[in-house]
Each structure stands twice: as C-alpha cells, then as structure tokens.
C-alpha cells in the first residue's frame, strides 16, 4: 500500500497551466501533485561562445528551488556561492532531454534557455521539470513561428519524464517525497512521444536490484510517460 493510497501504476494528479508569465516567450506551471514547477522559455539571439558560426542553435536549462519549497528551509545556492552537484546534475539532464527532440540547425543561431524553478517540492521535481519544460519550449517555438523566425519542424517530438522506484518491495510509479525517502531503488526515465528512450537512470538506495526489477520499473515508466505525453498534447493543442 502506497502512503498516498495510489495504485502502483498511478500517477499523481498532473496539471499544466500555460502562459503564466507576462514576459517569457513560453511558460507553464506544472503540478505533479504537491510538486509545483514554474517553467519559462527565454529566447536569446545569441549562442554560447563555443557554438558561434556553426549555423546551429542551442537549448539549455537551469534549475532552481525556492528556499522554502521543501519541508525544511534550505540555504539559497547563491549564499553557498555555487550550484550544488544535485542542481547541476538536474539542469544538465533537463537540457539533454530537450535537445534530444529539437532540430538545432533549424533553430538558427539562437539559444532558448529554459528555467525550471521549483515553487513547492514533494518528490519528482526533475521529472515534472522536464515534462513542463517541453511545454514552455513548444510555446516559445510557436512564438517564433508566428513571427516567421523558424519553420514547422524544429521540434521533432515530445519529451516527458517520470520517476519509478522499488518501495517496500513493489515497483511503483511517480514517487512522492515520502516514497522517495524510503525507496529501495529510485529511477528516472525520459522518453519521447514516440516511445524512444532518451535517458535512463536507476540507482540502488539500499541494496543492489535485479534486472527483473529494473524491467518492471521501465514498464511503469512507459505507461506513465504515455499519459504525460497525452496531457502535453492536449495542453498545447
């Protein structure tokens, strides 16, 4: 029995609200239950220095968490002086996930920066961030299309993410904070709208797990990501 009474293969209630920012070219507030992430896409007419003159664009992501998004207040990273290893890991993951579905040469020499800021955290912030980031990115590219800056096929596919884990011996989908803290194994999956795998990360928290267990996690992920992709499609249509 999950603490949230959900079935093993049941996502939390997911909602995506578009166009929540007055300024950003694309934006949404995505909620995976009590995990709330604000995603904005910012278009810049420049690329990173190492990409100059290569006739391709770039998509990058940054991730942050408000100090009291969590149960105990955390120090701001600016006070510490640099982004934590966890933050860097997550923003690199989000960036890779998005670039997997963007045709960078067709973007032109421009950069889209996706900011994923966790307003409230209850587990699964990185998977909510990726899922919402795609919506913000989509709307930013839509904004560009309306201005004839890019052609139709810059965005090649959808991308979404979900976590799965082994909790009290059972494989469960979309862990909340309580489950995440007590899980024997924890994994994150990023997949495209057409079902391709973009990123797989599985970690044994207490003891090593078997390939059978891992296969169960992947099955759950496929089901969950299928539902998230359907919601994304509905949201932007």
User: Who contacts 173 (Cβ-Cβ below 8 Å, separation ≥6)?
Assistant: 8, 9, 10, 11, 162, 164, 220, 221, 223, 224
CB atoms near residue 74 (< 10 Å): 16
The DSSP-derived string for 59-107 is EEEEEEE-TTSSSSPPPPHHHHTS--HHHHHHHHHHHHHHHTTB-HHHH
27 makes contact with its own copies (CB under 8 A): yes
Site for its own copies in 168-187 (CB under 8 A): 187
Site for its own copies in 32-51 (CB under 8 A): 34, 38, 40, 42, 44
What kind and span of H or E run contains 26? strand 26-32
Dump the DSSP string for 112-164: EEEEEEEEE-SS-HHHHHHHHHHHHHHHHHHHHHHTTSS-GGGB-S-EEEEEE
Q: Which two tokens stand for residue 167?
A: 């909790």
x/- binding map, residues 118-157, to its own copies, per CB under 8 A?
-xx-x----------------------------------x
Positions in 204-223 near its own copies (CB under 8 A):
204, 207-211, 213-214, 218
| Closest C-alpha among 97, 109, 14 to residue 54 | 109
Question: Which positions make up the binding site for phosphate?
Answer: 86, 124-126
Q: Which range binds its own copies by CB under 8 A, 2-10, 45-53, 68-76, 160-168?
A: 68-76
Positions at the binding site: 86, 124-126
The count of residues interacting with its own copies (CB under 8 A) is 63
Which parts of 75-94 interact with its own copies (CB under 8 A)? 76-85, 88-89, 91-92
109, 142, 201, 236: which one contacts its own copies (CB under 8 A)? 201
* Residue 40: CB minimum distance to its own copies, A: 4
- Is the Cβ of residue 7 or residue 67 nearer to its own copies in the bound state? 67
Which residue lies nearer to its own copies by CB, 150 or 193?
A: 193
Query: What 8-state DSSP symbol labels residue 11?
Result: P
Positions that interact with its own copies (CB under 8 A): 21-24, 27, 34, 38, 40, 42, 44, 62, 64, 66-71, 73, 76-85, 88-89, 91-92, 96, 100, 113, 115, 117, 119-120, 122, 157, 187, 191-192, 194, 196-204, 207-211, 213-214, 218
């Amino acid at each position: 029995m999950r603490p949230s009474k959900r079935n093993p293969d049941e996502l939390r209630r997911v909602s995506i609200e578009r166009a929540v920012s007055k300024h950003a070219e694309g934006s949404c507030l995505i909620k995976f239950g009590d995990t709330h992430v604000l995603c904005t896409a910012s278009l810049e007419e420049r690329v990173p220095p190492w990409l100059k003159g290569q006739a391709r664009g770039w998509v990058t992501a940054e991730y942050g968490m408000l100090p009291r998004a969590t149960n105990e207040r955390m120090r701001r990273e600016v006070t510490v002086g640099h982004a934590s290893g966890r933050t860097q890991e997550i923003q690199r993951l989000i960036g890779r996930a998005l670039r997997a579905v963007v045709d960078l040469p067709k973007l032109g020499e421009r950069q889209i920066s996706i900011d994923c800021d966790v307003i409230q955290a209850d587990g699964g912030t990185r998977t909510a961030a990726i899922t919402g980031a795609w919506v913000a990115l989509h709307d930013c590219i839509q904004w560009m299309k309306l201005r004839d800056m890019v052609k139709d096929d810059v965005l090649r596919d959808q991308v979404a993410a979900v976590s799965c884990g082994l909790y009290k011996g059972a494989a469960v989908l979309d862990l909340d904070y309580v489950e995440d803290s007590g899980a024997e194994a924890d994994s994150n999956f990023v997949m495209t709208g057409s079902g391709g795998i973009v990123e797989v990360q599985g970690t044994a928290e207490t003891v090593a797990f078997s390939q059978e267990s891992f296969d169960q996690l992947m099955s759950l992920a496929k089901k969950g990501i299928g539902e998230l992709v359907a919601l994304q499609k509905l949201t932007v249509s």
